[in-house]
Structure 1
């Protein structure tokens, strides 16, 4: 047992690799599992709806290529990416007294330190040592990533939603719409707002609950013994 513990502590082997990357791995596995479940459940719902209207059913492949499928997927991804992009941006300059989700108030935070002071550090990431525009992109890369993903999901939602909306319109003998026309419909904004509101509600709840509530062992919580008024990790 002692040998096994020492081996894991040194970071060797597949087990140690899985342990060291468990947070990402488990969430990716759950993502794939739930996306697969959503796909097959949505396919069944789509075929049930087709039968109710006297239309032919479709294969899984056809459903995966449909506007209905990508509208359902992208409108959820859109709200998640918006939440994360906003949260990253807000936590740069907004604070919440007593919350572990906030930087300390009135004292320097490690996140604010100028990386240019570490340009000669041999262990610093390459963009830090490179400097210039490369470093400018790198020091804002997390926000850039989620902003780009939000825009991509938003556009996908717009295009696929227009296709699904047009298909429903045609069923009722009405004209379809272009993505630009769909942008002006209440249906598009209903789909967006119903997801956006829940994302920001959860963020507000997390930031507020972190002031008074604790979870021992979680990086999202302050240490259990820390006073409520203490802000930041």
Structure 2
């Protein structure tokens, strides 16, 4: 068990942090939503009622949407684009292992089965990471719209105005403001990491070059 935990520590730690912060978001979100409801003369809600609300769906998926978009775009952009001196870039002056043609790989017992099979399976597998991230982005984008339409309709009706459909909500400035305010911060964070890794170091991290490495050296 200890060996397994060590081998999967990075995933386990991030998933544990996700659960802690997601739980905090749910509890604080339910309290905030209840306060807003009571301010409008409505009864407070339970945590379960909050989880079924458009407010919860909107708050959750507008954030997930930006994260998956950032990661999907980063995976794709690093195929074609470079940053001299950054640990986040492939080397400029030599071929990276990621560019090797899997059809010419030596097949062994541990080789992933799509590589062994070839054809359509390999064609899909070569881009499976970006496909997954874009699918998760589109799913989150959709759920952001679904939850947002419900929350927006509640707000509209409380002011004596008509509710909106999912498609109508996608045409509102509120939806795009929520999306853009998250998207811009994600790409700013990536840009800072890419640029800072040229000159700054973090000993022991694979996201950093070795501490003594020259600034112009590109790649981890």
TM bracket, shorter-chain basis: over 0.9
Q: How does 1:25-40 map to 2 (within 5 A)?
A: 25-40=12-27
Query: How far, CA to CA, are the matches of 1:98 and 1:60 in structure 2?
Result: 48
Partner of 1:64: 51
- The normalised TM-score by structure 1 is 0.93
| 1:119 CA displacement | 5.5
1:155 to 125, 142, 148: 142
Query: How far, CA to CA, are the matches of 1:120 and 1:84 in structure 2?
Result: 30
**Secondary structure in 1 matching 2:111:** coil
**What do residues 148-202 of structure 1 show as CA deviations (whole Å, max 9, x unaligned)?**
0000000000111000000000000011111111111100000000000000000
Q: How does 1:201-220 map to 2 (within 5 A)?
A: 201-220=188-207
Query: How far, CA to CA, are the matches of 1:102 and 1:198 in structure 2?
Result: 21
Partner of 2:160: 173
Count how many residue pairs are aligned between Structure 1 and Structure 2: 220
Partner of 2:35: 48
Query: How far, CA to CA, are the matches of 1:22 and 1:151 in structure 2?
Result: 29
Query: How far, CA to CA, are the matches of 1:36 and 1:70 in structure 2?
Result: 14
**Secondary structure in 2 matching 1:151:** helix
Query: How far, CA to CA, are the matches of 1:141 and 1:93 in structure 2?
Result: 17
Is 1:133 aligned with 2:123? no
| 1:16 CA displacement | 1.2
Is 1:193 aligned with 2:169? no
Partner of 1:19: 6
| 1:123 CA displacement | 2.4
Query: How far, CA to CA, are the matches of 2:21 and 2:5 in structure 1?
Result: 21
Query: How far, CA to CA, are the matches of 2:11 and 2:196 in structure 1?
Result: 24
Is 1:143 aligned with 2:143? no
Query: How far, CA to CA, are the matches of 1:231 and 1:120 in structure 2?
Result: 30
Query: How far, CA to CA, are the matches of 2:183 and 2:111 in structure 1?
Result: 37
Query: How far, CA to CA, are the matches of 2:100 and 2:92 in structure 1?
Result: 15
Q: How does 1:108-123 map to 2 (within 5 A)?
A: 108-118=95-105, 120-123=107-110
Structure 1 unmatched ranges of 5 or more: 1-13
Structure 2 unmatched ranges of 5 or more: none
**Secondary structure in 2 matching 1:148:** helix
Runs of 4+ in 1 over 2 A off after TM superposition: 119-123
| 1:19 CA displacement | 0.9
